Structure 1
Amino acid sequence: MMNSAAMYPPLFAPAANIPGYGDYNVSGGYLPPPMPTEPIAPQPGSIPSDWSIPALTEDEARHAFKDFVSSHCCYSSSPADDGVITAMEPHNTYRYRLETFTEARSTDWAHKPYEGEVADHNPQQAPQPWTVHATPPNLFTDHTQEIRLPFTSIVKDCHTCVATGKEQCDACKGSGHKSCSVCNGSGKNTDGDCTNCSARGKVKCSDCKGEGMKDCKTCKGTRRLLAYIQLKVEWKNHVEDYTGDQNPVLKSDKLRSANGKELYKNNQFLLYPLIGFPNPAMAQASERLIKDHQSKFSQTSRILQQRQTVELIPITKVVYAWKGKSHFYVVYGNNNKVSDDDYPATCCCTIL
């Protein structure tokens, strides 16, 4: 066989020698997907007409407050037990979530230790990246698959060890020995000469058995590599949420983590924005995000499916009277969490 080191550069083969990749930069990043033969327009989904929001009852608010207080060792239960609810103000909001599931493809040169495989580089044209079959995962699931492109593999000398199969031992820097750990390289200890190193201050390197060289990590000592064009297929679910303006009674960090109740879900190849939604800002966010996703991700990937979800985040400000003063707490989320940053009956306690 002809010396591959003379044919190809040290690290990888030139694309000009791979039929079908002559004018193609193999390491050129993500590859734009082929355009569909006919553009596919999104279709409007069925939007429910009833967006009614169930109100929180006083019993539910009181029970949530008692659970909240009992989880804090320094909170007295008196406000929760004796406080009288005087008002309940709804501050409910919605969370819109858009998911765009894409498939992206890129190529790069890869190599592995040569183990006698047949190099299939020949005059037959290698398949283009978007024509190679790849099995996708479940929808809206991230996954990566690497595929060796047929008719692109060659055998070449290892560029790391220059086809010697050996490289310098990292542990001893090629010397074949290391400092004695018993005497710290002095050759002496409290009893006189160090017996571990025979008073030499150094011992044979156990990593390379005193040779100063080890098998090359790149070729595993085989001296040669199988180099090929590797196709990387990446499926990714791009998720973006919108919860609107700052809620007047709930901090933004708690609003973002709030457990919502799903009211609407729709998935299609390409989505149509919300129509008839009672909150104009939410409908506008839907239109903006869908347009942005379809424009941005179609440049470097293939959009396989989109999904939009609307969740209700119940938020109720509960005003109560205790010891002649008015206080409030906030019950939020589908699981009735409580937020109260100014609880009126706390004490100092020490955990032993």
Structure 2
Amino acid sequence: MDLSYEAESPLAPPVELLEQLAHYDWPFQDGGQSQSSLPATSFRKLSDQRGRPIFLQHRCCYGNRAAGELVIQDLRQQMLYRYRLETFSESRLSEWTFQPYTNHSVDGPTKGASPKPWDIKVHIPPMFQEETKKFQVPHSSLVKDCHKCQGRGRYKCSGCHGAGTMRCASCSGAKRKAKQSRRCQVCSGSGRKRCSTCSGRGNKTCAICKGEKKLLHFIQLVITWKNSLFEFVTEHHMNFPEELLGKVRGENIFKDENVMVYPIIDFPKQEISLASQRGIAEHSNALAGRSRVLQQRQTIELIPLTEVHYWYHGKTYVYYIYGLENKVYALDYPERYCCGCTII
């Protein structure tokens, strides 16, 4: 099904799109209302024979004896729905800055008026890839004396105040240490040492103009391409850390990408439809008046999560297999050999 469309109004989707979504045949059996109903996808339900090999592949620094001898008692599989909204936007900020002036040509106001920030054409990076670039605004440059050194290129050393030497710290300038007749070996009896800050020169090269004496002031345009992400995962009612689900892949069952996407309607799981409405509203409010939206993309994925109950040495334990990568999470796995890391 092709869900491409042209944005007509920032307030409501086109009537044609609403009709398409309302009659969209979501790929679920039994309308997707029952938690036990599975989508018509390539997922296969885990069996006892598959659960143990997967666990052995991810035993990390734990012993493999328990993984080889455990007795799987029950497998509870659930399909979770993950909704993601990505909004790729561009923001522009202009600010005055400067750099050392090296006698090159100056693109100043005499060559024309400076363009406005959004009138400057730049190359846009690939969609949904964040990047920041800085540009010198045309016709905004002017040359001034350095404000740090007043156009001298150097300034008096703050350590020795221009003297080039400092009082010896070993003898405190007395040329001899207290209660000693010999002269101070550190300063050779002079009571002073060469200043380490300026290497005895008494002054330092200006760090602002790098000794060039003048600065080139200009307006700098900072363009930031940002990919904002909104994510929602349906509840699973298991003792499993939800943050781990964001690190695995799911099977994509729906994708909608355009300059502007509209909320999903009539999805079998109402939480997904509500999440779509909430995510689009949040991104719209956050970016309004500050950034320009270049592209949006919303997807729905199915993430498999299996709770495995197993018996080992008279006790019952639980581990989880999740994601298309079949990652394993086991908080209370027996036979720990290390500092207590978790199999993931």
What range describes the TM-score normalised by the shorter chain of this pair?
0.7 to 0.9
**Contact 1:91–1:315, Cα closer than 8 Å, also in 2:** yes
Q: 2:101 aligns with which of 105, 114, 118?
A: 114
The 2-side partners of 1:230 and 1:177 are apart by 42
Q: SS in structure 2 opposite 1:314?
A: strand
Mapped to 1, the partners of 2:272 and 2:148 lie a distance apart of 57
Q: 1:292: which partner in 2?
A: 282
Measured after TM superposition, the shift of residue 176 of structure 1 is 2.1
Corresponding residue number in structure 1 for 2:262: 272
Matched, 1:167 2:158: no
Q: Over the residues paired in the alignment, what is the CA RMSD in angstroms?
A: 3.3
1:177 to 149, 160, 165: 165
The structure 1 residue matched to 2:47, chosen from 54, 57, 72, is 57
Matched, 1:77 2:65: yes
User: Which runs of no fewer than 5 residues in structure 2 stay unpaired?
Assistant: 1-7, 29-38, 340-344
**What is the TM-score of this pair, normalised by structure 1?**
0.75
Deviations 1:245-290 (A, max 9, x none): 4642312333343443333333211112233433211121012101
- Contact 2:107/2:138, CA 8 A, preserved across alignment: no
- Alignment of 1:130 with 2:118, yes or no, is yes
AA of the residue aligned to 2:123? T
Query: Pick from 70, 84, 91: which aligns with 2:78?
Result: 91
Amino acid across the alignment from 1:98: L
Q: 2:326 aligns with which of 311, 336, 340?
A: 336
Equivalent AA in structure 1 for residue 72 of structure 2? I
Q: Secondary structure at the match of 1:293?
A: helix
Distance in 2 between residues matched to 1:168 and 1:338, nearest whole Å = 64
Q: 5+ residue gaps in structure 1?
A: 1-37
Q: 1:349 to 1:227 in 2, by over 3 A?
A: closer
**Structure 1 stretch displaced more, 143-152 or 38-47:** 38-47
Give the Cα–Cα distance (whole angstroms) in 2 for the partners of residues 203 and 109 of structure 1. 43
Q: Deviations over 1:23-62 (max 9, x none)?
A: xxxxxxxxxxxxxxx8577665886732415222322211
* Matches of 2:174 and 2:234, distance apart in 1: 70
Aligned to 1:102: 89
CA distance in 2: counterparts of 1:188 and 1:314, whole angstroms: 81
**Which residue among 243, 263, 271 is the counterpart of 2:253?**
263
Alignment of 1:1-352 (within 5 A): 44=17, 49-51=26-28, 52=39, 54=43, 55-68=45-58, 70-73=59-62, 75=63, 77-78=65-66, 80-116=67-103, 117-122=105-110, 124-169=112-157, 172=160, 174-178=162-166, 192-194=182-184, 197-205=187-195, 207-245=197-235, 247-323=237-313, 326-343=316-333, 345-346=334-335
Displacement of 1:77 in angstroms is: 1.9
CA apart distance, 1:133: 1.2
**Structure-2 residue corresponding to 1:10:** none
2-side partners of 1:59 and 1:238: how far apart?
41
Structure 1 stretch displaced more, 329-338 or 164-173: 164-173
Structure 2 Cα separation of the partners of residues 96 and 179 of structure 1: 69
1:130 deviates by: 0.7
Aligned residue identity for 2:68: D
Secondary structure at 1:294 match in 2: helix
| Structure 2 length-normalised TM | 0.76
Equivalent pairs counted in the alignment come to 309
Matching residue's letter, 1:114: Y
